Structure 1
Amino acid sequence: MLDTSNPNNYSYITKHLETHVLGGIKLNKLESLRITLSIQKPKQHNILRHSIDLYNDNQVEKFTRKVAERLEIGTSVARRTLQELTHELENYRFLLLEKEAELHKPYFKELSASEEKEAIKLAKRKDLLKKTNELIGKSGVIGEAYNRQTMYLIFTSRKTNNPLHCISLGSSGTGKTHLQSKVSELIPQEDKVEMTVLSANAFYYFNRTELQHKLILIEDLDGAESVLYPLRELQTKKRITKTVVHKDTKGTTRTIHLTVEGPVSVAGCTTQESIYEDNSNRSFLLYIDESQEQDKRIMDYQRKLSAGKIDLEAEQKARETLKNLQRILKPIKVINPFAEYLELPQSVFKPRRTNSHYLQFIEVITFYKQFQREKKYDEQTGEEYIETTIEDIEEANELIIETLLHKSDLLSGACRSFFEFLKLILVQENQTTFTNAEVRRWIRLPKSTVRRRFLELLDTENIVRVKDKNKKTYRYELADKEEYSNLKATIQKALQDCIDKINRANGSD
């Protein structure tokens, strides 16, 4: 029998010949069986080494005569030995291919009866979104109550026909990648693809359906610049195709099409909001909490973790609970009977795409609560579906208000954080005017950064220059310190008006 205990030196020993296959066998070319042989008589030192394709009859016949001549043995013995060796190697190669296919087979966890029962029990809770946010916190995601729940629901949308996407934005070192990584741990491994750096054509060489309904996680968009265009097409058109020239085994050149099917949900992180504007328009923008309170929460957690006072088993249990909940969610159509009553505030930029995101986000919440919804059937097609409730819309409005604020804001996310922090400091310092130098001292930012923020605030007329009465210099003051809270109130009122319209329409029915 063929001895494969040494992967680099198979041995096949018979009564008449001792044969070794040096370097093992290749698995990529099934049309040939090219190996390097060392063959000798047992307990003799006259060794014949030769590279040969055992599927090439001419080579095998010549080698048979050479073995018979060099080792002084009959050609029939040499031929039979080579034929038997070929058969053994062939069978072993098929075995290796089966093992390799099994190794690369996508992992799908089968839930036990108790796990499924527990997941369904959680899915039927009336306070499902609140309980989900609690479990996300227990899994080790510190703070970021709005961002973490919104991101989790966006990741859940991968199972729908119109997935949502998100980009995490914030300064370097504020935890963008950490938040994305921790929330993605709540998604089953078989449903996500994590990437760090991508080559220009990387997406085109996935299998046709390999990415369908997957969550694509990009650690840093700066490392994926070369694939941003196909990524956008995959987000929008749910399919990408590349035409390439290919030469077949006969040397004939022909054109082939490489197609990868979606839909997919895409998440990425960056510090540079303006550079990725085209991608940002297709995504929810999640601005990382850079407040001092969040700094304190994170550092307290780090200290407790170092002191061994964090229950890591409880964190793991929370992660598994949410992953199992994800596994029981099944694709189902969602119909929103109240969609016609939902209007976005006039202040929102690019309302067409934002309106689509708003409606899809409501559908995701309904989809997530599918175990609480009665299944209905289309009378004409027989298609199964569930319907959105007013409660779903109210919960979506609570979560999406931050996104609509950012979509309505003239300032970039980094500048808005700077400006809101500046307002707080002015109240603490009991001042209405300020200088560039004072702000640098209060906020401790580089001179160039403060200058950029001031230019953006002046350009959007959020601050104005005023002449210092005592000196021949200029100071700055706020144009309207209530502008952001007024904008938020306007958006809240617009969303509440939609709910009121729905309630009046239902009452009249």
Structure 2
Amino acid sequence: VPQILRKHHAAQRLLQPVLIVNPFASYLDFPTALVRTRRDHERFVDLIAVVCFLRQYQKERKQSREASSGEELQYIECDLTDYEVAYRIMVGGVLSSTFAELPHSLVRLYEELRLMFCRQAKTSDLKPTEVTLTAREIRRQVNWVGGEAVKKYLRKLTDYEYLQMAQGGRRGMRNSYRLVADEPIERLDCSMIPTPEAIASRLQAEGVQPGQTVHVLRQGKKSG
């Protein structure tokens, strides 16, 4: 282990401060109205840039002139390989571990709620995400756990942003809820992140070349 650590430290000392251009930010369709997903969006964008920074010696150093100051800037650009690595880390590691930490009873309640919303949607000719259910209606239909536990789980599902409080509630009633998305709970986080294949197809369809669309400009920092 000490030998491995020495190799890692030596590799870190080789990394140089460099500007990183990340053109992928606008292609990530995280719901920005939700605090948790907005935070995950920022983490994923940063993760792509970190992978790019670590791969800096596999990249061409490019130059651009800063519009306001006229200063000549040298930078490297995030590519699809950076995106693929970051995607595997985010989906296979960060988000999947979040799902694994959820209590089984919380996941069970969420899936029952999805069925309730879907049944109500069919009878009301609405989408499941347009249906509103009150806490009282939910407690009345859930019979495998007590009312106080249901209240606690609803609060947790709202905190995790799998449910959202309905504005004003249906028929003026308080404590009403809506689904954020009609998806299994284990897919909710991952479905927000386009796969590398989807990103590649979108770039090709739009005719975007690397470096044409720049959305995020970060200062790479030396590690170690």
**Hey, which of these two has a bigger chunk of helix by percent?**
2
**Hey, which of these two has a bigger chunk of strand by percent?**
1
Rg (Cα) greater in structure: 1
